[in-house]
Amino acid sequence: MPRISVIIPTHNRPGLLREALACIRNQTFSDWEIVIVDDGSQPPVDTELLRRDFGTQLKILRNDKPLKQPYARNQGVQAATGDVVVHLDDDDLLAPHALEAGLAVLERDHALELVYLGVKGFGEGAIHFDASQQQAMQAVLSRSNASGNQSGVIRFGTELFPALLYSVPMAFQRSIEYRTTWNKVSALRRRAYMLDPDIDDEEQAMRRLRPPLRESEWALYAAACCKTALLLDPVYLQRCEKQGYYSVASQRERAILSMIDIKSHLLGAAKEFTELSSWKSAIRKSLSLAYFSQSYFNFRNSRRVAAYGALFNALKIRPTLSYLKFGVRLLLPGGNMPD
């Protein structure tokens, strides 16, 4: 069996997929397999051509209809045979030493279950991406009281989870972990979704996982139940070509709704599961803040009734003086903006 399985979900990106496959073929570590999950591409991924060009270390699964990336990733892991897994988006790349470097961190410290990979952008938006990610990373590292920087590796304790509730920088969404770790984290996540009365089984729970922000959700559950570290070396290369969720108002709104959904499930799980129970207060605070973000967004877009509704939800979860002051400003005539 290969040591590492690289999971690549793909949808209608044949050219970029070939670039991703080439970067795996060029790794300094050679004991790998690639599991491609063709998530409803039209036309389908050309299995024969890819195996001819990239070798027999490829497994290719096919969904006739798109089931979306979170579901496809889990499919890939279930088909993998390596005891370590890495997820690679079909439009991103790995530095040539990425697999070797990530695996070395795992093997040096047997207590670790997961290693986050440093990220660097490439493409037309790379400068802005790298600057914003650096700022976000500094905030997380400050809040999490991470332990030292030995050989370019930072280790985390229990304070990483509440730090990530504020934001989940991209490095915490890119990782190398044992396959058993992926399954443990994913099982906790499914259990949280199965608390919904209209979800009967794990298959239904998996199908509820939809972008945006679902990679950040997995990262939160991982931080709650795993021993983790961060490889500072930026070995994961993130394509930056205007695919972010904050450049268009409708996408920004979807992202806010997704944050509310994620943190609602987290809060429900914190009330039921010991893995999350100690962070119930922190989760409640972050969910209230997500509702407040929704209220502010609606206000900025001249939807006052919707703004009132979202603010009511924020106050119901965690009443604060600043939220009450914002509510007063909502009542003012003339569309006055809050300070």
pLDDT at res. 243: 52
Q: What is the mean pLDDT of the chain?
A: 92
Q: What is the 8-class DSSP label of residue 195?
A: T
Exposed/middle/buried for residue 9 (C-beta within 10 Å: 0-12, 13-18, 19+) = buried
Question: How does pLDDT run across 80-96, given as a tens digit for each residue?
Answer: 999 999 999 999 999 99
Instruction: Calculate ∠ Cα 97-101-104, nearest 5°.
Output: 145
Q: For residues 1 and 186, which has the higher predicted lDDT (pLDDT)?
A: 186
pLDDT at res. 245: 42
Q: Which residues pair with 238 in a beta bridge?
A: 121
Is the confidence at residue 115, as pLDDT, over 60? yes
Is the confidence at residue 208, as pLDDT, over 90? no
pLDDT at res. 335: 52
C-alpha pair distances (Å), 330 with each of 95, 253, 309, 327: 50, 19, 11, 5
Q: What is the 8-class DSSP label of residue 194?
A: T
Residue 14 in tokens: 């044949």
DSSP 3-state of 222: helix
Cα Rg of the chain, angstroms? 21
Phi, psi for residue 24 in degrees, rounded to 5: -75, -40
Long-range pairs of 312-315 with CB within 8 A, sequence gap ≥ 24: 313/288, 314/288, 314/289, 315/288
Instruction: Please answer whether residues 8 and 36 qualify as being in contact, where contact means their C-beta atoms are separated by less than 8 angstroms.
Output: yes
Task: Identify the helix (H) or strand (E) that includes residue 63.
Answer: strand 58-63
Task: Tell me, yes or no, if the pTM score tops 0.85.
Answer: yes
Residue 221 in tokens: 């559950």
Q: For residues 206 and 214, what is the distance between their CA atoms, to the nearest angstrom? A: 11
DSSP 3-state of 296: helix
Most confident of 27-41, 207-221, 235-249: 27-41
Peptide bond into 333 cis (omega under 30): no
Sequence ranges of the domains in the chain: 4-239, 249-335
pLDDT at res. 339: 45
pLDDT band for position 252 (50/70/90)?
confident
The mean pLDDT value for 237-260 works out to 77
Task: Identify the helix (H) or strand (E) that includes residue 132.
Answer: helix 126-144
Pairing of strands 84-87, 175-178: antiparallel
C-alpha pair distances (Å), 326 with each of 32, 292, 337, 338: 54, 9, 10, 7
Instruction: Please answer whether residues 58 and 94 qualify as being in contact, where contact means their C-beta atoms are separated by less than 8 angstroms.
Output: no
In the chain, pLDDT over 70 holds for what percent of residues? 96
Q: Does domain 4-239 have CATH number 3.30.1330.200?
A: no
pLDDT at res. 336: 53
pLDDT at res. 248: 59
